[in-house]
Amino acid sequence: MNGAHARPARGEVAIEPAPGARVAEELDLRGEVCPYTFLKARLALESISPGGVLRVVVDNAASAHDVPRSLVAAGHAVLEVAPGGDGTWAIVTRRAQV
Backbone angles phi, psi at 90, to 5 degrees: -110, 125
Domain count, the chain: 1
Does any domain span residue 27? yes
pLDDT at 46 over 70: yes
Does any domain span residue 2? no
Full residue range of the structural domain in which residue 38 is found: 23-94
What is the distance of C-alpha 13 from the center of its chain?
10
Q: What is the pLDDT of residue 22?
A: 80
Spatial contact of 8 and 68, defined as CB atoms under 8 Å apart: no
The model carries a pTM of 0.79
Does any domain span residue 3? no
Does any domain span residue 9? no
Q: What is the pLDDT of residue 85?
A: 86
Does any domain span residue 7? no
Q: Can you give the CATH number for the domain in which 52 is found?
A: 3.30.110.40
pLDDT at 71 over 90: yes
Annotated catalytic residues are 34
pLDDT at 27 over 80: yes
Does any domain span residue 12? no
